[in-house]
Amino acid sequence: MGSNVATITNETDGAPTPDMTSRRHFIATALAAAGWHRSAPPRQADMFALVLGTAQDGGLPQAGCYSPRCDAARENPRYVASLALVEPSAERFYLVDATPDLTRQIDLIPGDAFRQRAQARRPFDGIFLTHAHIGHYLGLAVLGREGLGISRTPVYCSPGMADYLSNNGPWSLMVDEGRLVFPSVQLDEWHRVDDTLSVRLIPVPHRHEFSDTVGFVFRGANRSLLYVPDIDRWEDWHVGIEDLVREVDIALIDGSFYSPSEVPGRDIEDIPHPLIPHSMNLLQSAARDGNEVVFTHLNNTNPVHDEGSAEAREVSRRGFTVARAGMRFPL
Ligand SMILES: [Zn+2]
Ligand SMILES: [Zn+2]
């Protein structure tokens, strides 16, 4: 993956204090709510999305799985699907989904500035959560009182997800203690997060158990990125996936399964995710036109985890990409 990312410098003078950061957030949120958009260009367009993990919720290795892939992953684990959004010059950091692997995977965020922010107990300027399945929010737990003990961190999620976190322990304690706050966001509308980053939350059809599900479109100074790690079927969505892929610069999408044979005894209709070959068929012409489509949220049975597999080679032959931890996408 190409990268235009500058090394993050350790400039204590320029590092935002937690108070400065919350004030900036408050102002940005208030201005956005008033429909005011800053017209001046950002200081430096150096924002990037960083892949922190690529596995489906259960992780790789998965508990009690002793397949050759899971055994190999005991030496070289693949973290659960997540992103960081990093703005090096502004020293801002966002997390997209808080996974059970959060403790280790946020170490992939480069630079001293992030570490200083973590030491000040305010590592993230915001956390974006897609939904309440285990791979996407359990990591919040280690950010609470028993762990890092974050304070006043905006969480961007659906109103249903915010209700769920506010009304169910242990998450409700983090809300009551003021560690997690919920800016008001309208689904399907653009929301200004800071002077570089905007986000749109799009409802996604996906097993609605504890909460509904959203996908995100993030827009930086130069490029935009779609993140939809979980969806039941593209055909059930109110959004045309091909249109959306053409609208953004990079699409990181649900690649949970490659083939129904990965889950013996289950009919293809019972697998509530689009199979990778089906998604490639839908998006082949967009990929041919240069749209970047990247598969993530890979089940532990999915052969595309293995870079040399025939399936991984087929994905790249057709002009698509399999997400790998550490990949950067400039925004
Ligand atoms: Zn998931
Ligand atoms: Zn899910």
The low-confidence residues of the chain, meaning pLDDT below 70, are 1-44
Question: If you measure from the C-alpha of residue 96 to the centroid of ligand 2, how many angstroms do you get, rounded to a whole number?
Answer: 14
Tokens of 36: 């005011």
3-state helix, strand, coil in the chain (%, to 5): 30, 20, 45
pLDDT for residue 241: 98
This prediction's pTM: 0.86
What does the alpha-carbon distance between residue 264 and residue 16 come to, in Å, rounded to a whole number? Answer: 52
Q: How far is the CA of 85 from the centre of ligand 1 (A)?
A: 19
Cα of 212 to ligand 1 centre, how many Å?
A: 12
- What ranges do the domains of the chain cover? 12-27+43-330
Measure 324 CA to ligand 2 centroid, in angstroms: 20
What is the rounded CA–CA span in Å between residue 322 and residue 252?
A: 9
Q: 232 alpha carbon to ligand 2 midpoint, in Å?
A: 9
Ligand of minimum distance to the alpha carbon of 58: 1
How much distance in Å is there from the Cα of 17 to the middle of ligand 1? 34
Note the pLDDT tens digit of each residue in 280-297: 999 999 999 999 999 999
Residue 258: exposure state from Cβ atoms within 10 A (0-12, 13-18, ≥19): buried
CA distances (Å), 289 to each of 228, 249, 292, in order? 21, 11, 9
CA of 230 to the centre of ligand 2 (A): 5
Residues 288, 66: Cα–Cα separation, whole Å: 38
How far apart are the CA of 56 and the centre of ligand 1, in A?
5
- How far is the centre of ligand 2, averaged over its atoms, from the C-alpha of 210 (Å)? 10
Statement: 12-27+43-330 belongs to CATH 3.60.15.10: yes
Per residue in 295-325, pLDDT (tens digit) is 999 999 999 999 999 999 999 999 999 999 9
Q: How confident is the model at residue 114, as a pLDDT?
A: 98
Nearest-10 crossing angle of helices 310-317, 276-288: 30
Contacts with 265 (C-beta within 8 Å, 6 or more apart), sequence order: none
Other Cβ atoms closer than 10 A to 15:
16
Ligand nearest 81 Cα, by number? 1
Q: What is the pLDDT of residue 263?
A: 83
Q: How far is the CA of 254 from the centre of ligand 1 (A)?
A: 9
CA of 28 to the centre of ligand 2 (A): 31
Three-state secondary structure call for residue 25 = helix
In the prediction, which pLDDT does 43 show?
A: 53
